[in-house]
């Protein structure tokens, strides 16, 4: 069967993105998957491991560089792939070892987890062919009413979040920047859905919480002992609510991309396969408007 549509998945060389690609390729032969990755060598290895060379492609995308986002958008038009019908904003970082900045000078966690994806969506909207779906990967850690062991997000203003610290910040502050970026993901999803007329243009937008996934790679900046616990101890806790394997969450994410039961579903938040309410702050339209306005300016200025 000839592939007829392409799904772009960021951070697809490992973890959740890889498992989403695997599930999508396995579930429906009409899908072609474009792995948008920072390291094309690892991306090619991942594509080979997926086992569908005729239905996978790899392109370089560094979300910490707005120039790379622009180049990626141009690259897609030159690739021999079917029209893009889905975009999965999955890649993310969690940094606890101090202050880091993107190539454009923005705070790294905000820059990669939110701003890079904001720029990517803005650049690819004109290339999406309806019916199309955009899925933004967030996290249950964005909701302070849920106990996740992570510090509650602190949204002050997008301007402040984008500004790097003058001095090194603590590991706790690094984790807070992560949870705040995950709140930004949901705010962005809802605002994008509003601006697209709640599906009126044939494009749906939803946010996704994959749960706690040991082995996902998010702990790579943690100290050695914590990395070992994340890799070997937490997998034993999968019987607990909210702890899932990357394969299970990848299958749930792929369903949001392709399953007919989600046709027309938009402006929603999913924890795995369940549609639930997100945090109280995530529905704050003034917060979302601030995030959009500042992000749009930062992307336009850097571009």
| 178 flagged as catalytic | yes
| Backbone φ and ψ of 8, nearest 5° | -95, 125
CB 12 within 8 A of CB 37: yes
User: 72-97 burial, b for 16+ CB within 10 Å, e for fewer?
Assistant: bbebbeeeebbebbbbbbbbbbbbbe
Q: Which of 106, 169, 178, 222 is catalytic?
A: 178
What are the distances in angstroms from CA 100 to CA 52, 84, 156?
37, 33, 19
Q: Which residues are catalytic?
A: 178
């Amino acid at each position: 069967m000839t592939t007829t549509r392409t799904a772009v998945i960021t951070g697809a060389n490992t973890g959740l993105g890889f498992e989403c690609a695997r599930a999508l390729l396995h579930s429906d032969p009409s899908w072609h998957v474009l792995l948008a990755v920072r390291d094309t060598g690892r991306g090619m290895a991942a594509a080979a491991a997926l086992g569908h060379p005729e239905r996978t492609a790899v392109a370089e995308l560094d979300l910490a560089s707005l120039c790379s986002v622009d180049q990626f958008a141009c690259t897609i038009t030159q690739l021999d792939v079917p029209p893009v019908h889905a975009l999965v904003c999955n890649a993310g970082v969690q940094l606890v070892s101090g202050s880091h900045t993107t190539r454009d000078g923005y705070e790294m966690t905000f820059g990669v987890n939110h701003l890079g994806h904001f720029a990517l969506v803005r650049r690819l909207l004109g290339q999406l062919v309806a019916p199309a779906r955009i899925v933004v990967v967030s996290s249950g850690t964005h909701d302070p009413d849920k106990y996740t062991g992570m510090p509650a997000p602190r949204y002050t203003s997008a301007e402040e979040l984008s500004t790097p610290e003058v001095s090194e910040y603590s590991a706790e502050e690094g984790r807070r920047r992560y949870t705040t970026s995950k709140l930004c993901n949901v705010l962005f999803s809802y605002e994008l859905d509003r601006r697209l007329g709640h599906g009126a243009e044939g494009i749906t937008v939803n946010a996704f919480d994959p749960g706690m996934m040991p082995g996902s790679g998010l702990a790579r900046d943690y100290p050695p002992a914590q990395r070992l616990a994340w890799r070997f101890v937490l997998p034993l806790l999968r019987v607990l609510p909210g702890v899932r394997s990357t394969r299970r969450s990848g299958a749930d994410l792929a369903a949001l991309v392709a399953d007919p039961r989600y046709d027309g579903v938009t402006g929603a938040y999913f924890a795995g396969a369940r549609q639930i309410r997100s945090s109280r702050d995530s529905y704050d339209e003034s917060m979302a408007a601030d995030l959009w306005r500042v992000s749009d300016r930062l992307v336009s200025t850097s571009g």
